[in-house]
Amino acid sequence: MIPHWAVERRKMVDCQLRRRAIRDERVLAAMLEIPREQFVPPEERVSAYADRPIPIGRGQTVSQPYMTALMAESLELTGGETVLEIGAGSGYAAAVLGALAAQVVSIEIVPALADLARENLRRAGRGGNVTVVCGDGSMGYPEMAPYDAISVAAGAPEIPAALLEQLRDPGRLVIPVGDWGHQNLRVVVKHGGRVSDRVATGCLFVPLRGSDGWQ
Ligand code: SAH
């Protein structure tokens, strides 16, 4: 049987996202609209809406839908923001962020994945306000800073100072922090010259590669 993608999407939003307390209606609407099946490899398409990460090649994955939703929600986007994503991967999370903000810059270190993300975004019709840059984002992307929000899709041992510098005040940053076995998704808020952060959940992301002592 050929899956009916709109039905799969609705089930994902109701059973995976709403049930786990994703409340931001804009996030839910974006994920109801964006064709996730177009961001996964053809052989994974039947599992595109499964409650788990999906392999996209080069040892990388597109995050579980709930994780993408939680990260997007924690940025509290209202539509006018400039967002930096680190780790474009398939381009799916960039598409979700693009639906929620004015513009998104997504940096990807693996050239083949940067191409894949661009192609997926174009094919899905979501590339209009999303720019994919190929490069090392471990020190952010100063060219377009400051950012109202930053989403890091790979795990770092600590919150990189360069990212905090490139975050606007007020601004929000979401990042998995920890080692390969134990990470926490941290939500950092910069406001009135002060920086605070909380743990949203435990998580497991691929490691952020780069120049700052990371693998
Ligand atoms: N957001 C993606 C999932 C990304 S998985 C999606 O929705 O599909 C993490 C990605 O981060 C991988 O594609 C990996 O190649 C990339 N990555 C790891 N280290 C990086 C770095 N230093 N700079 C940019 N991208 C990096």
63 is catalytic: yes
Residue 10 Cα, ligand 1 centroid: separation in angstroms?
A: 27
Residue pLDDT, tens place only, 160-171: 999 999 999 999
Is the CB of 40 inside a 6 Å radius of any atom of ligand 1? Answer: no
Is the CB of 31 inside a 6 Å radius of any atom of ligand 1? Answer: no
Residue pLDDT, tens place only, 174-199: 999 998 779 999 999 999 999 999 99
Look at residue 211 in the predicted model and tell me its pLDDT.
Answer: 57
Is the CB of 67 inside a 6 Å radius of any atom of ligand 1? Answer: no
Evaluate if residue 215 carries a pLDDT over 60.
Answer: no
- Secondary structure of 109-171 in the HEC alphabet? CCHHHHHHHHHHHHHCCCCCCEEEEECCCCCCCHHHCCEEEEEECCEECCCCHHHHHHEEEEE
Residue 39 Cα, ligand 1 centroid: separation in angstroms?
A: 14
Once rounded to an integer, what is the mean pLDDT over residues 70-79?
Answer: 98
Once rounded to an integer, what is the mean pLDDT over residues 141-164?
Answer: 97
Pick the CATH number of 5-203 from 3.55.40.20, 3.40.190.10, 3.40.50.150, 3.40.50.1820: 3.40.50.150
Evaluate if residue 49 carries a pLDDT over 70.
Answer: yes
Once rounded to an integer, what is the mean pLDDT over residues 38-60?
Answer: 96
Average pLDDT of the chain is 95
Model confidence, pTM: 0.97
Q: What is the rounded distance in angstroms from the CA atom of residue 33 to the CA atom of residue 70?
A: 17
Residue pLDDT, tens place only, 103-139: 999 999 999 999 999 999 999 999 999 999 999 999 9
Contacts for 119 with CB less than 8 Å, ≥ 6 apart: none
Look at residue 3 in the predicted model and tell me its pLDDT.
Answer: 73
Catalytic residue chosen out of the listed positions 63, 74, 90, 151: 63
Residue 153 Cα, ligand 1 centroid: separation in angstroms?
A: 6
Residue 110 Cα, ligand 1 centroid: separation in angstroms?
A: 8
Nearest atom in ligand 1 to 206's CA: 9
- Domain boundary assignment for the chain: 5-203
